[in-house]
């Protein structure tokens, strides 16, 4: 799901005007004495409200890449994933996902450690040891299935966020999808912590990365199709979901 | 005194038990609705249309669409007239129901777990976990006590609040096209959704 959202689909920096305006008006309104009884009754529903901070200075460019990725998804990635889903039984595909996820264990170990989350780092080390051995090279998530050790996603973008680095401008990257300046740089660092980078090279490496994505997509329940169908403006929907998703990741 | 201790404990236990019966917990209420939806999904005697209608009924009882609309529009809600509020709530309810039902239809074989809830007076968050073959998706329901039952006013999927998401997009549309423009877009979207028959995936 994480990869999926990343595939398909900023906070100490200045926020766009309307977000600040609405935050201000909200405060004024809740302090106002002229509220009706119903409004007062309902006011408590707004106490936990968070204002989403959106910074999208290159929206026109992002929209172009969003459009390109959209076409890439519907005309290339999805048909390939559909054929692959038809040909390969689901348990195999889940195993492939486990395999790639296990190779990425150092990303989670290093970034948990860098954030001082030593319990999580230890958990990921154990998971890696168990899944690489008993889980036969990572094809089985034995650590989760038999020892109840659950995966906890940590990456370089989250580590930077943990130390107060804001997300920077929202970016839609070609092929890779929604990101921001901080997480884009983080993704590059992550790729160098991933064992995949050290066991393959050149076209094999990029081929395997593409295969990982197609495999993930084959396990997905048409999330992007759902967004396209429901949202009034899919670009805005994906952007705002991504911003919230990463903010929540950094905070946890 | 000690002799009466067992009796006293039973009495205390009964008092707690009665309290529990008098007021259902947030998790109870959410679970009742989720279970009802899952039961409808598994009921083979229903055709797609009547299943969807029944699901909408279940969702309608649990979701407070007026509170959701209010939170979504935020400042624009305060500016809107009563007629506009009414209109928006109707359209928004239809959009949310549609999106929720089509999402849920793709999760037929998955199970739902209830790891816990956080209650704070008349508000609570019910945590649920959708277990699929390859992932566990946290879905948290924000609820508040309204006329004796817990009503959903936001759904948070993997840290993404449905309402915050809609709010941000809708605010931008209101800025560009005005409130009427937003209502027109919503009506157009609903027409679009109705013209497309249920797709098999």
Nearest Cβ partner of B159 from A48, A91, A244?
A: A244
CA dihedral of A135, B113, B17, B123, whole degrees rounded to 10: 130
Question: Which has more pLDDT, B10 or A99?
Answer: A99
> In terms of pLDDT, which residue wins out, B5 or B90?
B90
Residue B101 has what pLDDT?
A: 82
pLDDT score at A79:
96
% helix, strand, coil for chain A, step of 5: 70, 5, 25
Lowest mean pLDDT among A66-75, A135-144, B77-86: B77-86
Tell me the pTM: 0.81
pLDDT at A120: 96
Segment B197-201 mean pLDDT: 49
Predicted confidence at residue A98, as pLDDT, reads: 96
Closest approach of chain A CAs to the CA of B30, in angstroms?
Answer: 18
What's the number of domains chain B is made of? 1
Q: How many other CB atoms are found less than 10 A from the CB of residue B21?
A: 8
What pLDDT, on the 0 to 100 scale, is given for residue A51? 73
Kindly report the nearest CA distance between residue B103 and chain A, in angstroms.
7
Task: Please give the backbone phi and psi of residue B149, each rounded to the nearest 5 degrees, phi first.
Answer: -130, 155
> Which residues share a beta bridge with B136?
B131
Residue in the structure block whose two tokens are 């931008």 = B172
Given this model, what pLDDT does residue A10 score? 28
Residues of A in contact with B196 (CB under 8 A): 229
The two counts, helices (H) then strands (E), for chain A are: 15, 2
Reported confidence tier of residue B196, pLDDT bands at 50, 70, 90: low
Which of B65, B135, B150, B163 to mutate against chain A (most A CBs within 10 Å)? B135
Residue A136 gets the label, from left (phi > 0), alpha (psi -120 to 50) or beta, of: left
Q: Can you tell me the distance from the alpha carbon of A152 to that of A121, in angstroms, rounded to the nearest whole number? A: 9
Would you call A244 and B165 a contact, using CB atoms and an 8 Å cutoff?
yes
Length of chain A: 252
**What share of chain A has pLDDT > 90, as a percent?**
73
Q: How far is CA B170 from CA A19, A59, A95, A162, B35, in A?
A: 12, 17, 40, 30, 32
Burial code (b: 16+ CB inside 10 Å, e: under 16) for B6-16 equals eeeeeeeeeee
Residue in chain B nearest A227 by alpha carbon: B99
How many angstroms away from the CA of B15 is the closest CA of chain A? 30
Contact B201/A222, CB-based, under 8 Å?
A: yes
Partner B contacted by A248 (CB < 8 A): yes
Assess A88–B contact: CB distance below 8 Å, yes or no: no
A160: left (phi over 0), alpha (psi -120 to 50) or beta: alpha
From chain A, the residues in CB contact with B101 under 8 A are: none
Put simply, the answer to whether A22 touches B171 (Cβ < 8 Å) is yes
Helix (H) / strand (E) element for B127: namely: strand B123-131
State residue B47 phi and psi, 5-degree precision. Answer: -85, 165
pLDDT tens, residue by residue, B84-138: 999 999 999 999 888 888 777 777 667 889 998 998 888 999 999 988 877 888 9
Domain coverage including residue B163:
2-200
Task: Give the SS3 label for residue B154.
Answer: strand
Residues 6+ apart with CB under 8 A from B199: none
Mean pLDDT score across all residues of chain B: 84
Q: Which ipTM score applies to this complex?
A: 0.80
The pLDDT tens digits of the residues spanning A160-186 come to: 999 999 999 999 999 999 999 999 999
Name the closest residue on chain B to residue A5, using Cα atoms. Answer: B158
Residues of A in contact with B178 (CB under 8 A): none
pLDDT at B90: 94
pLDDT in tens, B26-76: 999 999 998 888 888 888 888 888 888 888 889 989 999 999 999 999 888
Task: Give the integer Cα–Cα distance in Å for A32 and A12.
Answer: 29
- Counting Cα atoms < 13 Å in the Cβ hemisphere of B97 gives 23
Q: Which of residues 36-65 of A touch B (CB under 8 A)?
A: 42, 44-46, 48-50, 52, 54
Bigger pLDDT: B99 vs B5: B99
What is the number of other CB atoms lying within 10 angstroms of the CB of residue A3?
20
Using a CB-CB distance cutoff of 8 angstroms, which residues of chain B are in contact with residue A93?
Answer: 134
Structure tokens given for B70: 């209010």
Looking at residue B9, which CATH number applies to its domain? 3.10.450.710
> How distant is the Cα of B130 from the closest Cα of chain A, in angstroms?
12
pLDDT of residue A141: 95
| Residue A28 predicted with pLDDT over 80 | no
What confidence tier does A209 reach under pLDDT thresholds 50, 70, 90?
Answer: very high
Q: Which residue of B has its CA nearest to A25?
A: B75
Interface test with B, best of A35, A50, A153, A221 (most B CBs within 10 A): A221
DSSP-derived secondary structure letter, A57: T
Q: A23 pLDDT exceeds 60?
A: no
pLDDT given at position A3? 42
- Of the listed ranges A95-104, A236-245, B94-103, B113-122, the one predicted with least confidence: B94-103
**How many whole angstroms separate alpha carbon A179 and alpha carbon A9?**
8
């Amino acid at each position: 799901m994480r990869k999926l959202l990343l595939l398909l689909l900023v906070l100490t920096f200045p926020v766009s005007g309307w977000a600040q305006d609405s935050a201000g008006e909200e405060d004024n309104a809740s302090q106002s004495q002229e509220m009706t009884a119903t409004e007062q009754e309902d006011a408590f529903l707004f106490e936990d409200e968070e204002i989403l901070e959106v910074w999208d200075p290159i929206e026109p460019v992002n929209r172009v890449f969003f459009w390109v990725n959209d076409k890439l998804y519907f005309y290339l990635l999805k048909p390939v994933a559909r054929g692959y889903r038809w040909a390969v039984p689901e348990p195999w595909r889940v195993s492939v996902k486990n395999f790639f996820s296990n190779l990425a264990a150092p990303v989670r170990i290093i970034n948990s450690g860098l954030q001082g989350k030593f319990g999580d780092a230890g958990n990921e080390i154990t998971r890696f040891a168990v899944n690489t051995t008993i889980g036969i090279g990572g094809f089985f998530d034995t650590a989760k299935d038999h020892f109840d050790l659950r995966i906890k996603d940590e990456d370089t973008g989250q580590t930077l966020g943990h130390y107060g680095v804001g997300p920077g401008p929202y970016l839609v990257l070609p092929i890779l999808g929604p990101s921001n300046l901080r997480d884009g740089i983080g993704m590059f660092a992550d790729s160098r912590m991933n064992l995949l980078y050290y066991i393959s090279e050149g076209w094999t490496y990029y081929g395997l990365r593409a295969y990982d994505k197609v495999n993930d997509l084959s396990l997905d329940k048409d999330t992007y199709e759902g967004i396209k169908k429901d949202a009034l403006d899919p670009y805005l929907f994906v952007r705002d979901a991504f911003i919230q998703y990463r903010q929540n990741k950094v905070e946890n | 005194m000690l002799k009466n201790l067992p009796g006293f404990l039973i009495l205390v236990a009964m008092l707690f038990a009665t309290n529990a019966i008098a007021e259902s917990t947030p998790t109870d209420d959410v679970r009742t609705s989720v279970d009802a939806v899952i039961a409808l999904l598994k009921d083979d005697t229903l055709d797609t249309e009547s299943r969807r209608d029944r699901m909408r009924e279940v969702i309608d009882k649990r979701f407070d669409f007026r509170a959701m609309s209010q939170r979504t529009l935020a400042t624009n809600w305060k500016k809107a007239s009563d007629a506009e509020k009414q209109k928006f709530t109707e359209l928004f309810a239809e959009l949310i129901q549609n999106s929720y039902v089509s999402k849920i239809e793709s999760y037929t074989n998955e199970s739902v777990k209830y790891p816990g809830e956080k209650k704070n007076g008349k508000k609570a968050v019910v945590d649920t976990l959708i277990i699929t073959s390859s992932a566990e998706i946290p879905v948290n329901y924000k609820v508040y006590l309204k006329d004796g039952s817990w009503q959903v006013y936001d759904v948070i999927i993997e840290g993404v609040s449905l309402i915050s998401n809609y709010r941000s997009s809708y605010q931008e549309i209101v800025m560009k096209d005005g409130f009427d423009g937003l209502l027109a877009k919503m009506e157009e979207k609903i027409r679009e959704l109705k013209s497309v028959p249920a797709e098999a995936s």
